[in-house]
Amino acid sequence: MTASLTLDAAGPARLVLAIAVAGDQATTETLSVTQDGVRLDVTELADQHGTRLHAVDATAGRVEVRYSARVDGRGETAPVDALDPIRYLRPSRYCESDTLGPVAVAEFAGLDGVDLLAGVSSWVGTHLAYDGSSTDPTGGAAATLLSRRGVCRDFAHLVVALLRALDVPARVVAVYAPGLEPMDFHAVAEALVDGRWLVVDATTLAPRPTLVRIATGRDAADTAFLTTIGEPVELVGMEVTATADALPDDDPRLPVSLG
């Protein structure tokens, strides 16, 4: 897994990166941040969802971020915290489960467990068109449903909102996704069913068994790969790679867990 970012900072700014693989999944890992050829100090932090954040203080100028990691095998299944069933049932900025409750009940009444996950995934995947030119970065699940199109984060937001409306704790996960085309950071949903976090990817653009967790949160507000504080920072270049020894078949009706 690799990620390269090229940024132009207009002045003093704190950069908060969420590009490192989560937990202790990486067998080997390197992260470097340089500005005008000088290496900057990086501080690792953990947020309330367990995401590894890396904070860097920059001044005016060009900033280069380089990250690489190797992951061998599958990590441990994501733990379930006692607060998860509360934290991930509440409506959030981009997942308006309170607004979409009537839709969820009308479409998925009578389904539960993995059957509900498969039903929501199929419904969202067939009702939305994947369109990279149409998404609004400030729009939520309700707007996505009305427009009937979006990118991976929009698909994930709608899945999460519908599941929460049916009292299933759900959240958004940013991942490295071998097999994704075109390659980029990818967003999927994760739902808590029978004591396990299970992946739901209504886009079906990459096989779920090869996904590698980066960031976890209530919605995209918690999982952005870059947050900036201070003077404006422009993203002028980005390249992401994710490869696997083999890409398995993926039946969206079957449960899959992330590490």
186 inside domain:
yes
The answer to whether 164 touches 141, Cβ cutoff 8 Å, is no
- CATH, residue 60: 2.60.40.2250
What is the pLDDT at residue 236?
97
What is the pLDDT at residue 172?
98
103 with 216, same domain? yes
46 inside domain:
yes
What is the pLDDT at residue 141?
96
What is the pLDDT at residue 138?
82
78 inside domain:
no
219 with 230, same domain? no
Which residues form the domain of 142?
84-223
User: Nearest 5°: phi and psi at 192?
Assistant: -95, 110
18 with 98, same domain? no
Q: How many domains does the chain have?
A: 2
249 inside domain:
no
167 inside domain:
yes
125 inside domain:
yes
248 inside domain:
no
In this structure, is the dihedral angle defined by the CA atoms of residues 233, 235, 236 and 240, taken in order, positive or negative? positive
219 with 171, same domain? yes
97 inside domain:
yes
The answer to whether 20 touches 54, Cβ cutoff 8 Å, is yes
Looking at the chain, the number of H-run helices and the number of E-run strands are 6, 15
What is the pLDDT at residue 132?
80
Per-residue pLDDT tens digits for 89-134 = 999 999 999 999 999 999 999 999 999 999 999 999 999 999 887 6
- CATH, residue 154: 3.10.620.30
What is the pLDDT at residue 75?
65
For residue 219, the SS3 value is coil
119 with 191, same domain? yes
All residue ranges of the chain with pLDDT < 50 are none
Q: Determine the length of the chain.
A: 259
151 with 211, same domain? yes
In this structure, is the dihedral angle defined by the CA atoms of residues 83, 88, 94 and 98, taken in order, positive or negative? negative
